[in-house]
Every structure is written in structure tokens, then in C-alpha cells.
A and B are shown apart, each in its own frame.
Chain A
Amino acid sequence: GNSVTQMEGPVTLSEEAFLTINCTYTATGYPSLFWYVQYPGEGLQLLLKATKADDKGSNKGFEATYRKETTSFHLEKGSVQVSDSAVYFCALMRPSNTGKLIFGQGTTLQVKP
């Protein structure tokens, strides 16, 4: 079946540190891949996405590259800020199921000043 696996958190970093949150997926066909972020008390927001192999999604300094050979979509940021503290969700959407998202378990990021 289709599934998404994220690294367990919480991830605690100091400000300006490099961030990587691992995400791997299992899917049939060629899914679209997403990273969502959930700030405290708010709904999930789309952070970035990639729709085909080797695509790189980027937003607000975050990047993730769709790697079909390793079935991965790792999230990276070169220098995190305290305001990046949130829960990050990796998700996939199968081409045949437009709209239906399958989420990873979420990774909590805590950035300390």
C-alpha cells in the first residue's frame, strides 16, 4: 500500500543550525509529494511540493528534492530560526486519487535561541 515514514522527533536545534528531516515513501506509480507545516494553534499549511522525479520544491528557505531512486523527499534548511519551530508533515498524493493525502506521523522541530 501507500505510506509515508518520517524520522521521529522531537528535533531540537540551535538557531542557525542546519536542518534535515527525513521522509521516505511507498507508493504505486508516481505520486506527488508534499511538506506541510503546523504552527502551534494553527491549521496545516503547505510548505512546498514536488510533482515528479528530480523536482525540487522550495519555500521560505526550505527545500526538498523528489528522489525516486531512493523513494525519499527529505526536508532541508540551511539556517533555522526560532520561528521555524513547528510540526512538519510529509505527505503523498497518488495521481489517481487527486485530493487524498497520506501523511507521515509528523516531526516536531524545536529551535532554541
Chain B
Amino acid sequence: GAVVSQHPSRVICKSGTSVKIECRSLDFQATTMFWYRQFPKQSLMLMATSNEGSKATYEQGVEKDKFLINHASLTLSTLTVTSAHPEDSSFYICSATGGRGEQYFGPGTRLTVT
């Protein structure tokens, strides 16, 4: 089946620094990718919709200047957490939409901000 990868799988950074997370669709082209955030023992919360070649659409309450999304190609979307703080520590998951509209999820990235 379709595969979506994320890199890195886990990252630790210091408060105030920026971290970039990559999401790649490995065997299909994805015009739309989604970024989710998951807190421990909680649901996945949609952060933003990433469209290839255009600006991302952010959900209410998500700071677009803090969570920068770039969808530069049909197989790659990146999420950059700028000036990270401990409260940004979370599990970030991306998904990519295939040709028939089904979503394929990446394995997630564990971000820890110290």
C-alpha cells in the first residue's frame, strides 16, 4: 500500500530553537497533506492543511507564524516549529491524500523541547 514517511522520528531541541519535520509520500503524489498533533492519551488534532504550491490553511487556534508549513512538491511537506518551547513538545503526525481521496498516515515525529 501507499507509504508516507516522516523524518526525524524523534528530536530533542532546546527552548528557543527551530525544528523542521519532513513528511514524504514515497510511492504516490499527494496534492494535499495534513498535519496533526497528538498529546499523550488524547486524540489527533488537525493543525493545518498543506496544499502543494499554495499557502497552508490553518485550523482555528493554531499559530501560523509558529508552525510554518511548506508544501513545495507533490511528495514533500515540511512543518517547522519556530522558537520552540516546552509546551510544543508533542507527537506530530502527517497524512497524505492519494488519488482516490484516501489518507495515508506517517509514523509520527516525537518532539521534545527542553
Contacts from A to B (Cβ < 8 Å): 4, 36, 41-46, 89, 98-106
Contacts and interface: CB of A to CB of B under 8 A. Distances in A.
Given A43-B105, A43-B107, A99-B49, A89 B93 contact: no
A103 B44 contact: yes
B19 interface: no
Interface on chain B toward A: helix, strand, loop, or mixed SS?
Answer: strand
Interface stretch (B62-70, B75-83, B96-104): B96-104
A99 B107 contact: no
B41 A43 contact: no
A103 to B, nearest CB: 4
A105 to B, nearest CB: 4
* B interface, size bucket: 20 to 34
A105 B38 CA distance: 9
Interface on chain A toward B: helix, strand, loop, or mixed SS?
Answer: loop
Contacts of B104: 43
Nearest to A49: B102
B6 to A, nearest CB: 8
Contact of B103 (A42, A99, A102, A104): A99
A100 B34 contact: yes
B42 interface: yes
A-B pairs with lowest CB-CB distance, top 9: A43-B105, A44-B105, A43-B107, A105-B43, A103-B43, A103-B44, A43-B106, A99-B97, A99-B32
B4 interface: yes
Contacts of A99: 32, 34, 49, 97, 101, 103
A109 B80 CA distance: 33
A105 B39 CA distance: 10
